[in-house]
């Protein structure tokens, strides 16, 4: 009997020690200090980078330590969540210990319970919450988002459609700046027509002669010489009597035009020897196809693969497999059929499959490194390029307009890769284009093409303003126009310049008209902007960014916070508890004292 009593007493002592430990203020202080250190480490150590980025920043040894201790994602680590749980238990134990079952302690209970709820809500968010982002192009939709940090694709059970993207701008503001080079001084000038400004500590003066609120350069084509310095022709295509297409072709510049409606390509050549002239008029060469370039510099691998959508190949000697997913001659209009696209921005999309999964990327012919610099790629050792020859065309018919220094001028018509017809041409005279049913006319020929610039007024709304200014200085007077957002206008001695620049904030607001489509039906529509998100199925879509160049896509921040209701509930209870402590409790005490009297 005595042994049982002793065991119970010892058990009671152990339970008492555990209870005292859980109720200890020291435990709370230690946990809070550890949490504070964790928060500091989470600020100092950049969170949620790739292993390669950590190695580059901190070295291989520290990276292994950070990953092993979850210091690369502290706020989602198990030990951080465990600390929050211990703090909740400690606070709950302290609350129970101090509870005296009196009405006056309601405020105390409410404030402590509210803090516990807030921490529980944070714990739920840290473990179950989701955060990421996605760019949606205007007129298109997405059914996924990319996680923050590792850019993993997370599918959604619905689609987000971007019907329209709206950018609201402030009225543009411009200022005129005078710069004296040898003094290294800048002077802002007030724009007032007819006023002359003497630039301080210099021999220069500026007079504003005229002002256009919205102006542009009008370029008038002119011929400046009879020598073939820059040969150009103005070509007109006729269906019957109507002109279907017209424009300039330059022998030393853009010398071709694609007409996808008639499966036709028009080319212009100027040659200075008989051999090249004969070659162009008698030989039909097949154009080079576009190719996908793939390079692994560290392994000495370099491949050129003809671009055909659907092609899949393995990179020999590696674990990589590549699939050509999409090809466009004009990336911005890639939804159009390939035959209808102008060759303005060729690009190819590939999927690279390797040890870390699939890496989808675009490669642009004119900007080969853009995608790798603007996006997070999984396989940084692989460089992809898109190589499209200047003479590439999808059309099977060609018109070659050829002339030489001996004034020979012919038109060669090529159909299906075969030379069908050669005729002479004259300026102003129409020529039949094979059996196509329409005609061609060279309306103008300039041996030395140039342009004459003239500033014209477009409207009375301030958009792209222009100033006609007169600069007086050591080398006489200069009278010229200066347009907003154009390079500085320099005086002939290269010591004085005027700059007409835009200043101040331009973007006022940006909005996205979004639709949620679930099971093929539109279930929600909303125009979102900063701090006014769209909410659906537990997800919140915030307006976070946009395409600064073309305004064609909207950047959405995606968040799912399952613990937010618990956190809000905690804050509401906290407010009630504070009100009770500072207002209700003193009132009840005063009332109780009156009764005692």
Q: C-alpha distances in angstroms, 289 versus 259, 388, 389?
A: 19, 7, 7
Give me 72's structure tokens: 């690369």
Residue 529 is classified by DSSP as B
512-535: b or e for each residue (b if 16 or more CB lie within 10 Å)?
bbbbbeeeeeeeeeeebeeeebbe
**138 Cβ contact partners less than 8 Å away, ≥ 6 residues apart:** 162, 163, 164, 165, 552, 553, 554
Task: Please report how many Cα atoms fall inside a 13 Å half-sphere around the Cα of residue 128, on the Cβ side.
Answer: 11
**354 Cβ contact partners less than 8 Å away, ≥ 6 residues apart:** 318, 319, 320, 321, 378, 379
In 23-50, which ranges are continuous DSSP H helix?
25-44
Picking from 217, 176, 179, the residue whose alpha carbon sits closest to that of residue 193 is: 176
Spell out where 224-275 has E strands: 232-238, 243-250, 256-259, 264-271
CATH 3.30.70 fits 225-287+393-447, yes or no: no
Q: What is the pTM of this model?
A: 0.48
Domain ranges for the chain, please list them: 2-129+565-596, 131-170+507-560, 173-219+454-499, 225-287+393-447, 291-387
Q: Is 363 within 8 Å of 345 (Cβ atoms)?
A: no
Residues 377 and 379: their CA atoms lie apart, in Å, by 6
Picking from 71, 72, 80, 131, the residue whose alpha carbon sits closest to that of residue 564 is: 131
Q: Residue 137's Cα: distance from chain center in Å?
A: 10
Residues 327 and 324: their CA atoms lie apart, in Å, by 8
Q: Is 224 within 8 Å of 448 (Cβ atoms)?
A: yes
For residue 199, the tally of other CB atoms under 10 A from its CB is 21
Q: What is the pLDDT of residue 42?
A: 86
Task: Describe the strand order of the beta sheet including 439-446 as a list of residue ranges.
Answer: 243-250, 232-238, 439-446, 430-432
For residue 180, the tally of other CB atoms under 10 A from its CB is 19
Maximum Cα–Cα distance across the chain: 129
Residues 74 and 411: their CA atoms lie apart, in Å, by 72
* Contacts for 86-89: CB closer than 8 Å, 24+ residues apart: 86/27, 86/31, 87/28, 87/31, 87/32, 87/35, 87/119, 88/116, 88/119, 88/120, 88/123, 89/22
Give me 144's structure tokens: 């996924």
- The per-residue pLDDT string of the chain (597 residues; one tens digit each, 9 = 90 and over) reads 455 555 545 555 555 788 888 888 888 889 889 989 988 998 888 887 878 888 888 888 888 998 888 888 888 888 888 888 888 888 888 888 877 777 878 888 888 899 889 888 888 887 888 889 999 999 999 999 998 867 889 999 999 999 999 888 888 889 999 999 999 999 999 899 999 999 998 999 999 999 999 999 888 899 999 999 999 999 998 877 788 889 999 999 888 888 877 778 899 999 988 888 888 888 887 778 899 999 998 888 999 999 999 999 999 989 999 999 999 999 988 988 888 888 888 999 999 999 999 999 999 999 888 888 888 888 988 999 999 987 788 888 889 999 988 888 999 888 877 888 888 999 999 888 766 677 889 999 999 999 988 899 999 988 899 999 999 999 999 999 999 888 999 999 999 999 999 888 778 888 999 999 999 899 999 999 988 999 999 999 999 988 877 778 899 999 998 988 999 999 999 999 899 888 888 888 888 777 766
Q: Residue 375's Cα: distance from chain center in Å?
A: 9
Give me 500's structure tokens: 């007409």
Q: What is the pLDDT of residue 157?
A: 92
Q: Is 352 within 8 Å of 330 (Cβ atoms)?
A: no
Q: Residue 421 forms beta bridges with which residues?
A: 413
Q: C-alpha distances in angstroms, 586 versus 102, 104, 449, 578, 589?
A: 14, 9, 92, 12, 5
State the SS3 of 86-102: HHHHHHHHHHHHHCCCC
Q: C-alpha distances in angstroms, 325 versus 333, 334, 341, 360?
A: 16, 13, 18, 9
């Amino acid at each position: 009997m005595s042994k049982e009593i002793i065991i119970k007493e010892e058990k009671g002592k152990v339970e008492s020690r555990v209870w005292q430990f859980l109720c200890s203020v020291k435990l709370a202080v230690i946990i809070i200090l550890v949490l504070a250190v964790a928060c500091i480490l989470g600020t100092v150590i950049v969170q949620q980078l790739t292993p390669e980025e950590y190695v580059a920043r901190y070295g291989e040894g520290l990276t292994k330590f950070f990953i092993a201790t979850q210091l690369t994602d502290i706020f989602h680590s198990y030990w951080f969540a465990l600390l929050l749980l211990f703090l909740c238990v400690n606070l709950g134990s302290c609350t129970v210990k101090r509870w005296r079952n009196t009405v006056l302690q309601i405020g105390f209970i409410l404030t402590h319970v509210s803090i516990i709820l807030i921490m529980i809500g944070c714990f739920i968010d840290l473990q179950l919450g989701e955060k990421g982002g996605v760019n949606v192009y205007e007129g298109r939709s997405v059914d996924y988002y990319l996680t923050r940090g590792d850019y993993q694709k997370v599918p959604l059970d619905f689609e987000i459609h971007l019907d329209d993207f709206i950018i609201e701008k402030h009225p543009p503001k411009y200022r005129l700046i005078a710069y004296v080079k040898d003094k290294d001084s800048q002077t802002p000038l007030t724009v007032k027509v007819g006023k002359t400004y003497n630039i301080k500590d210099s021999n220069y003066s500026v007079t504003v002669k005229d002002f256009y609120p919205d102006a542009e350069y009008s370029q008038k084509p002119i011929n400046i010489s009879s020598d073939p310095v820059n040969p150009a022709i103005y070509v007109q295509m006729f269906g019957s009597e109507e002109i279907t297409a017209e424009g300039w072709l330059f022998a030393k510049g853009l010398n071709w035009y694609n007409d996808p409606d008639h499966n036709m390509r028009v080319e212009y050549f100027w040659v200075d020897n008989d051999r090249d002239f004969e070659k162009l008029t008698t030989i039909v060469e097949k154009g080079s196809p576009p190719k996908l370039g793939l390079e692994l510099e560290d392994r000495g691998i370099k491949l050129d693969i003809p671009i055909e959508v659907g092609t899949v190949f393995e990179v020999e000697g590696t674990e990589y497999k590549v699939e050509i997913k999409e090809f466009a001659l004009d990336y911005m209009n890639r939804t159009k059929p390939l035959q209808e696209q102008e060759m303005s921005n060729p690009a190819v999309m590939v999927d690279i499959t390797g040890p870390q999964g699939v890496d989808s990327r675009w490669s642009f012919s004119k900007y080969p490194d853009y995608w790798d610099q603007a996006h997070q790629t999984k396989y940084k050792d692989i460089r992809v390029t898109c190589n499209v020859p200047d003479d590439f065309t999808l059309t099977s018919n060609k018109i070659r307009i050829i002339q030489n220094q001996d004034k020979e001028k012919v038109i060669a018509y090529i159909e299906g890769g075969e030379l069908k017809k050669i005729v002479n041409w004259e300026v102003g005279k129409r020529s039949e284009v094979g059996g196509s049913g329409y005609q061609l006319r060279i309306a103008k020929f300039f041996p030395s093409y140039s342009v004459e610039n003239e500033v014209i007024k477009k409207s009375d709304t301030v958009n792209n303003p222009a100033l006609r200014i007169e600069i007086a200085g050591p080398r006489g007077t200069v009278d010229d126009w200066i347009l907003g957002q154009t390079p500085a206008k320099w005086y002939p001695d290269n010591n004085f310049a005027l700059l007409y620049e835009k200043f101040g904030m331009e973007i006022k607001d940006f909005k996205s008209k979004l639709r949620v489509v679930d099971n093929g039906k539109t279930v929600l529509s909303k125009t979102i902007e900063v701090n006014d998100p769209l909410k659906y199925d537990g997800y919140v879509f915030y307006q976070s960014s946009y395409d600064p160049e073309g305004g064609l896509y909207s950047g959405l921040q995606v968040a799912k916070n399952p613990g937010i209701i618990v956190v809000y509930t905690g804050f509401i209870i906290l407010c009630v508890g504070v009100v009770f402590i500072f207002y209700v409790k003193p009132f009840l005490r005063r009332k109780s004292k009156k009764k005692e009297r």
